[in-house]
Homo-oligomer: A and B are copies of this chain.
Amino acid sequence: MDTLNVFDFLDRIVKLIKEEHILNPQEANKVIEYVDPHDLKNKIDLSLAAPCANLEELEAVCRDIIKYSIKTNSAKFHNQLYGGTDLYGLGATWLAESLNTNQHTFEVAPVFSLVELELLEEVKKLLGYTQGDGIFSPGGSISNMYGMVLARYKKFPETKTKGLHGLPVLVAFTSEEGHYSLQKSAQWLGLGTDNLVKIKTDNFGRMIAEELEKAIISRKAQGHVPFFVNATAGTTVVGAIDPLDKIADICERHQLWLHIDACYGGTLLLSKNFKERLEASHRSDSFAWNPHKMLGAPLQCSIFITRHNNILHECNSASAVYLFQQDKFYDVSYDTGDKSIQCGRKVDGFKLWVMWKARGKAGFASLVDNAIDCANYFRSKISNLEGFRLVQDEFETTAVCFWYIPRSMRSGKEDAEWWKKMNNVAPAIKEKLVKSGKLMIGYSPLVHRGFCNFFRMITTCHPVPTYSDMDYVIEQIKQIGEVM
């Protein structure tokens, strides 16, 4: 292939991003140009057997890749807890990627080390932590795992060197609507998934605190050692916020580490109107928040934070002498890498920093308030619409979960047979929506509440949602569902 001048390819990429309207999709454009996986292989030349002959060919393949990729920056994308990106954050990633470095030492990341510190200080303030430490991690699952590791270390510091051998059974707790990463953490860390107890939730998806305490007592009676409770602020499906204050009381009584998985709901802390929902956050021992979800930081951007000083370092340090030399000529307390489970660590904080520097807390607040306002508008509107039925009356974050009942089923008797049929409705509507490229919206069952498949509508800060975007979603579902 041609010899490459520095901006030959980069300029083409920027041109493609503009020409294909990735960041500002035209209203008429599809959110997805759906092709079945087996056929998609034939639509794009993804084979690496032979390289492209020249830049034109490479550009053409990239254009195909864009064509068949999801446009998360589209107002028609409501499929996940994340959506489009904040453009300030995106610009920051382009810059950080170009500077290609690691977050592990001040030596290679002087500015980015200070940026991370500044962010952690601000996040501590948001939470109401008066001290503590933190780290950016590659996603919420790993942030939650950090919480469990620190909790284990706090209770049994000898596990660092001796492992779990000879210890009693250690037990962790989360709600039955908590995220599956807690389960994976329990597995990886050697507790086993049987020793992650899933506590019953109420009709709004919130952990029942009394059930938690019962479970703790019951496990203790078996000679097991409870050590960790995960409370969720923004469950994955309905966006529920566990009763944090009550759970904190229980954790205090039983001396358990309280971790809050606020990967989704943590963004509410930025809203003047809604931050009180997370009021008890300052009572947690650790806290996970993903600005790459509701707030629209480009993926990945996840913060793990603990109110205990030094424990991240004490627990995780391996003191590798080739990297964290103690005879460096600068203050090595700025080298953060030994607190991490990673060695190389991507510069994830900088995008959040640029967003924050550009918008300020007030700017964030109005974006968050708007996302919630649109979710409320959506909920309120469908609650009076024929064919739509909310799975619960109220929601605490930006998720709105509902069934759509096709006209032909509306007068039917709602017996087991009827619900079995309903279970196929959301997947069938979704299939049509995706294949037409008109809308992407998630669905899920909630088995333990006896709920078959329902839609989960999500609003995020970017692209900035409007009421008319909400109306559009309702209209699309109706158009297909009505005639099923």
Residues of B within 8 A of A68 (CB): 110-111
User: Which residue of B108, B183, B358, B440 is within 8 Å of A51 (Cβ)?
Assistant: B358
Residues of B within 8 A of A6 (CB): 23-24, 87
A161 within 8 A of B: yes
A292 within 8 A of B: yes
Compute how far the CA of A52 lies from the CA of B50 in the bound complex, rounded to whole angstroms: 48
Which residue among A90, A95, A160, A181 has the maximum number of chain B CB atoms within 10 Å of its CB? A95
A-B contact pairs, 29 of them (CB 8 A): A1-B359, A10-B90, A22-B99, A37-B106, A37-B110, A44-B114, A51-B359, A52-B357, A52-B358, A65-B95, A65-B115, A84-B100, A101-B299, A107-B434, A107-B440, A138-B139, A139-B345, A141-B341, A142-B142, A159-B192, A161-B187, A161-B192, A163-B186, A163-B191, A179-B343, A189-B189, A290-B344, A327-B453, A329-B434
User: Which residue of B37, B47, B456 is within 8 Å of A113 (Cβ)?
Assistant: B37
**Which of the segments A72-80, A247-255, A273-281, A407-415 contacts the partner chain?**
A72-80
Q: How far is the CB of A10 from chain B (nearest CB, A)?
A: 5
A474 within 8 A of B: no
Interface string of A316-352 (1 = CB under 8 A from B): 1010111001011111001000000111111100000
Residues of B within 8 A of A320 (CB): 180, 236
Given contacts A163-B192, A189-B189, contact A427 B237 (CB under 8 A): no
Q: Are B363 and A91 in contact (CB under 8 A)?
A: no
Q: Are B140 and A195 in contact (CB under 8 A)?
A: no
Residues of B within 8 A of A189 (CB): 188-190
Residues of B within 8 A of A115 (CB): 46, 65
Compute how far the CA of A91 lies from the CA of B15 in the bound complex, rounded to whole angstroms: 11
Which residue among A44, A62, A186, A190 has the maximum number of chain B CB atoms within 10 Å of its CB? A190
Compute how far the CA of A141 lies from the CA of B90 in the bound complex, rounded to whole angstroms: 27
Known contacts A69-B111, A165-B192, A325-B453; 14 additional CB pairs below 8 A are A17-B98, A37-B331, A62-B354, A65-B111, A72-B100, A72-B108, A107-B440, A139-B342, A161-B187, A161-B193, A180-B343, A184-B316, A187-B316, A325-B444
Compute how far the CA of A277 lies from the CA of B29 in the bound complex, rounded to whole angstroms: 51
Q: Are A190 and B193 in contact (CB under 8 A)?
A: no
* Interface size counted on chain A using CB atoms at 8 A: 156
Q: Which residues of chain A in 1-37 are interfacial with respect to chain B, using CB atoms and an 8 Å cutoff?
A: 1, 4, 6-10, 12-14, 16-18, 22-24, 32, 34-37
Given contacts A16-B95, A193-B161, contact A110 B9 (CB under 8 A): no
Residues of B within 8 A of A107 (CB): 70, 79, 434, 440
Residues of B within 8 A of A72 (CB): 99-101, 108
Compute how far the CA of A154 lies from the CA of B293 in the bound complex, rounded to whole angstroms: 35
Residues of B within 8 A of A32 (CB): 110
Q: Are A300 and B346 in contact (CB under 8 A)?
A: yes
A353 within 8 A of B: yes
Residues of B within 8 A of A456 (CB): 322
Q: Are B164 and A187 in contact (CB under 8 A)?
A: no
Interface string of A33-75 (1 = CB under 8 A from B): 0111110110010111011100000100110011011111100
Residues of B within 8 A of A169 (CB): 163, 165
Q: How far is the CB of A238 from chain B (nearest CB, A)?
A: 10
Q: How far is the CB of A424 from chain B (nearest CB, A)?
A: 8
Residues of B within 8 A of A322 (CB): 236-237, 442, 444, 456
- Nearest B residue to A148 via CB reads B188
Interface string of A151-164 (1 = CB under 8 A from B): 00000001111111
User: Which residue of B1, B13, B95 is within 8 Å of A13 (Cβ)?
Assistant: B95
A82 within 8 A of B: yes
A112 within 8 A of B: yes
Compute how far the CA of A344 lies from the CA of B181 in the bound complex, rounded to whole angstroms: 10
A473 within 8 A of B: no
A482 within 8 A of B: no
Compute how far the CA of A68 lies from the CA of B290 in the bound complex, rounded to whole angstroms: 28
Given contacts A9-B91, A162-B192, contact A66 B99 (CB under 8 A): yes
Q: How far is the CB of A57 from chain B (nearest CB, A)?
A: 9
Given contacts A51-B356, A357-B52, contact A4 B325 (CB under 8 A): no
A298 within 8 A of B: yes
- Nearest B residue to A447 via CB reads B321
Residues of B within 8 A of A12 (CB): 91
Residues of B within 8 A of A99 (CB): 22, 66, 69-72
Interface string of A176-206 (1 = CB under 8 A from B): 0001110110111111111100000000000
